[in-house]
């Protein structure tokens, strides 16, 4: 069973940000606040004490949100799965994986995902939605520590997407 106190949160904030045109960690909501600060604040509201920002570009984050630590990607330039791997390694527990560039994310969903995961111990990944055409959306999602070796194997050989992890 998943206990919130035994779960870590990892906010992905790396990458080249080619779609955004600016570093993801600097994106701002209409009220001027940084999305990364808002998302990390929601994480603290869940009373989870291990909150990491995973990135291969720590200099682009600027001010680190209170209660968060920066976690280098396990393998630089290998995508979001590398941030997930770093969080699984560091936490030695299940990880609620988020991204700092999800403006439609709402705080209630985080608690709902954790509650759903706690009731489904046999499930490898608990994610929030299915996208167009029935494709699974990997973020946000709860990723099990039990999958560490599988993710490690995929990433040690090559870059791997979160979608490929969901398929396997």
Look at residue 101 in the predicted model and tell me its pLDDT: 86
- Strands of the chain (E only): list them: 8-12, 51-55, 68-72, 95-99, 125-130, 136-143
CA distance 116 to 97: 14
- Nearest CA to 2 out of 114, 153, 108, 129 is that of 114
Confidence (pTM): 0.89
Q: Kindly report the number of other CB atoms within 10 A of residue 82's CB atom.
A: 24
Q: Specify the DSSP class assigned to residue 150.
A: H
Look at residue 165 in the predicted model and tell me its pLDDT: 78
Look at residue 3 in the predicted model and tell me its pLDDT: 47
Q: Kindly report the number of other CB atoms within 10 A of residue 5's CB atom.
A: 11
User: Cβ(117)–Cβ(2) under 8 Å?
Assistant: yes
CA distance 86 to 72: 7
Look at residue 156 in the predicted model and tell me its pLDDT: 82
* 148: region left, alpha or beta (phi > 0 left; psi from -120 to 50 alpha): alpha
Look at residue 86 in the predicted model and tell me its pLDDT: 97
Mean pLDDT, contiguous 10-residue spans, the chain (168 residues): 69 78 82 92 84 92 92 90 96 94 85 84 72 78 91 82 77
């Amino acid at each position: 069973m998943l206990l919130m106190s035994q779960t870590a949160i990892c906010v992905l904030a790396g990458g080249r940000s080619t779609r955004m045109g600016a570093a993801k960690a600097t994106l701002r909501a209409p009220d001027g606040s940084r999305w990364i600060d808002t998302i990390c604040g929601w994480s603290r509201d869940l009373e989870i004490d291990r909150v990491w920002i995973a990135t291969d570009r720590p200099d682009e984050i600027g001010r680190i949100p209170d209660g968060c630590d920066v976690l280098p990607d396990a393998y630089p330039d290998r995508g979001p799965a590398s941030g997930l791997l770093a969080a699984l390694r560091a936490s030695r527990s299940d990880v609620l994986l988020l991204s700092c560039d999800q403006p439609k994310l709402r705080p209630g969903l985080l608690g709902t995902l954790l509650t759903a995961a706690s009731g489904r111990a046999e499930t490898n990944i608990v994610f929030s939605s299915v996208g167009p055409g029935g494709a699974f959306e990997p973020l946000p999602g709860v990723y099990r520590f039990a999958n560490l070796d599988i993710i490690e194997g995929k990433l040690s050989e090559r870059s791997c997407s979160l979608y490929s992890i969901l398929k396997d």
